[in-house]
Amino acid sequence: LLTSAAITACAFAASAQTVGFSQIGSESGWRAAETTLTRQQAEERGIDLRFSDAQQRQENQIAAIRSFVAQGVDAILLAPVVATGWDSVLEEAKEAEIPVVLLDRRVDSSDDLYLTAVGSDLVHEGSVAGQWLVDNKPEGTCRVVELQGTTGSSPAIDRATGFRNAIEGNADIEIVRSQTGDFTRTGGKEVMESFLQAEAGNEICALYAHNDDMALGAIQAIKEAGMDPGDDILIVSIDAVPDIFQAMADGDANATVELTPNMAGPAFDALEAYWADGTEPEKFIQTESKLYTQSDDPMAEYEARKDLGY
Ligand code: GYE
């Protein structure tokens, strides 16, 4: 005989929803944390998560989505590596009546091709970083180098725009070099090395990196070049991963803008409501963006985040 608990468990298992997750890859600490939290959230809610790592390639994501559609999943989570080129595959999911929720990055497809997008205001993040520099730059001309995210990704496009919006009108601040470091630590280090070489003899006043991992790689390059990151070159970036708080505590980094890695929580909330009675969420579910600096007790922030899978 089955106990009533076992019967409930069976009924629950039978009705468990299946969600396919097409993740970009593991380019950054932030990305790793998002993956961990998505798995945790799915498990807590009894959702059967099918995970696919695209290793940074859009074609792998398109193949994964087609496979999720063929499997007849109940929903798809998509963190789209670049912004363009999604129309056909999103139409296929729509025809199969499978809701798609975008995580952290945007697409430039029409918004009736997905249920909702969970993420931050990426332009705003760039503006917060730019405004920090406007408020904290040393007197006189400030020559800035920029490490951009993955080319064609919405955060690279939007974080570049936001920063420029914030520094506009400040004749003293000039972006002298800008190149992609692909959101990785090694990319950030290599490109910063080339910036330092190219600018030898010219003072670089600040680095703006589209994520913390690239900033952390650049900090290494600056130290190896015999300079003092955080002092000789100001460092402002985005994500708020534990290691950037460590760098802030050490005086090597100056400011970061927080991006929550828990995009899955709001995404699953929206999906559960949709599955229950067809409730349509807003097209954009916005997460918060908060600025942290060296005066915000960076070690406490480090401790608060270090176990989140970063
Ligand atoms: O900031 C970066 C990453 O898509 C907004 O992707 C996200 C970005 C995040 O790898 O670290």
Average pLDDT along the chain: 95
**What pLDDT does residue 309 have?**
83
The mean pLDDT value for 281-301 works out to 97
Query: Rounded to two decimals, what is the model's pTM?
Result: 0.94
**What pLDDT does residue 161 have?**
98
Whether 252 contacts 229, CB under 8 Å = yes
Mutate to test the pocket of ligand 1, among 211, 244, 260, 289 (most ligand atoms within 8 A of CB): 211
Per-residue pLDDT for 11 more than 50?
no
Show the beta-strand stretches assigned E in 111-150.
116-119, 142-148
Output the six-digit token pair for 224.
């190896």
Per-residue pLDDT for 8 more than 70?
no
Whether 103 contacts 34, CB under 8 Å = yes
Phi, psi values for residue 307, rounded to 5°: -100, 10
- Alpha-carbon 248 to chain mean position: 20
Show the beta-strand stretches assigned E in 94-194.
100-103, 116-119, 142-148, 173-180
Mutate to test the pocket of ligand 1, among 183, 241, 256, 287 (most ligand atoms within 8 A of CB): 183
Long-range CB contacts for residues 99-102, cutoff 8 Å, separation at least 24: 99/75, 99/271, 99/274, 100/65, 100/75, 100/76, 101/75, 101/76, 101/77, 101/267, 101/270, 101/271, 102/78
Per-residue pLDDT for 238 more than 60?
yes
Residue whose CA lies nearest to ligand 1 atom number 7: 104
Task: Please report, in angstroms and rounded to a whole number, the separation of the first and last CA atoms in the chain.
Answer: 45
**What pLDDT does residue 3 have?**
55
Distance CA 196, CA 158 (A): 25
Report the nearest atom of ligand 1 relative to the CA of 213. Answer: 11
**What pLDDT does residue 5 have?**
53
CA 297 – ligand 1 centroid, Å: 24
- Residue whose tokens read 């063929």: 70
Question: Which of 215, 190, 200, 180 is closest to 292 using CA atoms?
Answer: 215
Protein residues with CB under 6 Å of any ligand 1 atom:
27-28, 30-31, 104-105, 155, 183, 211, 238-239, 259
- Residue whose tokens read 């800035």: 144
Burial of 11 (0-12, 13-18, 19+ CB in 10 A): exposed
What does the angle CA 277 – CA 281 – CA 286 come to, to the nearest 5 degrees?
150
Beta strands 284-286 and 234-239 are: unpaired
**What pLDDT does residue 4 have?**
55
In tens, the pLDDT along 175-232 reads 999 999 999 999 999 999 999 999 998 999 999 999 999 999 999 999 999 999 999 9
- Left if phi > 0, otherwise alpha if psi is -120 to 50, otherwise beta: which for 183? left
Report the nearest atom of ligand 1 relative to the CA of 27. Answer: 10
Per-residue pLDDT for 118 more than 90?
yes
Mutate to test the pocket of ligand 1, among 28, 102, 305 (most ligand atoms within 8 A of CB): 28
The pLDDT-based confidence of 2 (bands split at 50, 70, 90) is low
CA 143 – ligand 1 centroid, Å: 25
In tens, the pLDDT along 241-281 reads 999 999 999 999 999 999 999 999 999 999 999 999 999 99
Distance CA 156, CA 103 (A): 15
- Residue whose tokens read 């680095």: 207
In tens, the pLDDT along 54-87 reads 999 999 999 999 999 999 999 999 999 999 999 9
**What pLDDT does residue 239 have?**
98
Distance CA 241, CA 308 (A): 10
Q: Distances in Å between the alpha carbon of 176 and those of 84, 91, 140, 190, 224?
A: 28, 42, 15, 17, 21
Residues 6+ apart with CB under 8 A from 281: 115, 116, 270, 273, 274
Residues 6+ apart with CB under 8 A from 37: 261, 262, 263, 264, 265, 308, 309
Report the nearest atom of ligand 1 relative to the CA of 122. Answer: 5
In tens, the pLDDT along 28-41 reads 999 999 999 999 99
CA 30 – ligand 1 centroid, Å: 6
